[in-house]
Structure 1
Amino acid sequence: MTLTLLHTAEAHRITFDTLRDRIAPGRGLHHIVRKDLLDRARHGINDVLRSEIATLIETAPGLTLCTCTTLGPVAADAGAIRIDQPMMQAAAALPGDILMAYCLESTLAPSLSLLEAELARADRPAPVHPLPLNALWPLFEAGETQAFAIGIAAEIRHVAAQLPGLGSIVLAQASMAGAADLLRDLSIPVLASPELALCAALSRL
């Protein structure tokens, strides 16, 4: 069965092809890149946009993995895998408080709702500390991915040092995954969604 990936940034095509080459060499991926969907969703997802996303997923070949956190709930309603679900499940299984960093305001509500749902499913009440990093998003849009990752890592280090009960850090958006490599020296897990989600999706094929 084909795995289709619905992206809202061209950069994700390279990210997931690189992951595929390491995790499942030879596995074909079908990419759909629609930046306009995120541009529209940032102002709220209306019925027209919801229907368009559903049609994309229903007509895509095979199983669809939606790599956009903002579109995640709507995509899941249409039968797609949400990119952040495996990551949120992993976070819910770890002890301690959770620092959830995000770079788009439209990401906050769906990410927080999913994380809280996974915590409830795991029967593990835990404080979640949202960390908005919206000022860094223009770097990603401009293609300055290294500066984007460095900025995220610096902000997370600063905040994490002030949270003694912290047990894990969640990078809410796939675009933020590069910061995880810059935080490997921390004594707590830093969770990014792309690899966890691709492994989960491939296991269902």
Structure 2
Amino acid sequence: MSTIGFLHTADVHVATFHELVAELAPGWSDRHLVDASLLADARAGVPVEERVRARLAELAGADVIVCTCSTIGPEAERAGALRADRPMARAAVEAAGGGRIAVAFSVASTQEPTAALLRDTDPRADLLLVPCLEAWEFFEAGQLERYHGAVAARLREVTADVIVLAQPSLAPVAALVPGRVVLSSPRAAVLAATGVT
């Protein structure tokens, strides 16, 4: 049986990705490692690349390793892991067809890595950054409905061809913004990592 390993920076992602693996790639097993301090330090401007490499090494033996955190995605990718948001970025550029891509994020440290990833995918990408920083306190308090609701309310005011939810924690927001093209990373990441079509 093939194994997919995940590096997360929040416990809430374990269940999300475990369920996606069971649904999309039932022949695969999954392993999870959570280190919230990586995101906390990255947000504070503390270099984390060495520690990201060390944590990824703990998942050695997995057939593929995915980093689900957008903020530390660049460091994880340089260490050989898959960035959970790269398949989403490709899909967003394709869906936008040269139109505007709104990038919603609730942690400031996610802005630059996600914008850089989209521009790496298409240097001509027309990006509209949509900070939803006031919502993060709800996530930290475990008030996920309020967290998703606050971001959805902000996105209803946005005009764009495609909306990208920069963090996996935002994935449920898509269902709260009907009639819009809204992309998130979890499902696309599992499909890409396992090669399921």
Shift, 1:56, TM fit: 1.9
Q: Which residue of 2 aligns with 1:97?
A: 100
Bigger shift: residues 86-95 or 70-79: 86-95
Pairing 1:106-121 to 2, within 5 Å after superposition: 106-120=109-123
CA distance in 2, matches of 1:109, 1:16: 24
Q: Match of 2:52?
A: 53
Q: 5+ unaligned residues in a row in structure 1: which ranges?
A: 161-165
Describe the superposition over 1:28-81 as per-residue Cα deviations: whole angstroms up to 9, x where unpaired.
Answer: 1000011111111111242xx211111222341322100000010000000000
- Which residue is equivalent to 1:158? 157
**Once the two structures are aligned, what percentage of the paired residues are identical?**
37
Query: In 1, Cα distance between the equivalents of 2:131 and 2:125?
Result: 19
Deviations 1:139-193 (A, max 9, x none): 1111111111111111100123xxxxx210000000000101111x22x310011
Distance 2:152 2:186 in 1: 17
Residues 110-155 of structure 1: per-residue CA shift (max 9 Å, x gap): 00000011113xxxx2320000001100111111111111111111
Contact preservation (8 Å) 1:72, 1:110: yes
Match of 2:184 among 176, 180, 192: 192
Aligned length: 191
Give the corresponding residue for 2:66: 65
TM-score using structure 2 length: 0.92
Is residue 170 of structure 2 the alignment partner of residue 176 of structure 1?
yes
Query: Residue 26 of structure 1: CA displacement?
Result: 4.9
Q: What CA distance in whole angstroms lies between the structure 1 residues aligned with 2:148 and 2:156?
A: 12
Is 1:7 the counterpart of 2:8? The answer is yes
* 4+ long deviations beyond 4 Å: none
CA distance in 2, matches of 1:34, 1:102: 20
Instruction: Give the Cα separation in 2 of the matches to 1:45 and 1:98.
Output: 30
RMSD between aligned alpha carbons? 1.4
Unaligned stretches of 5+ in structure 2? none
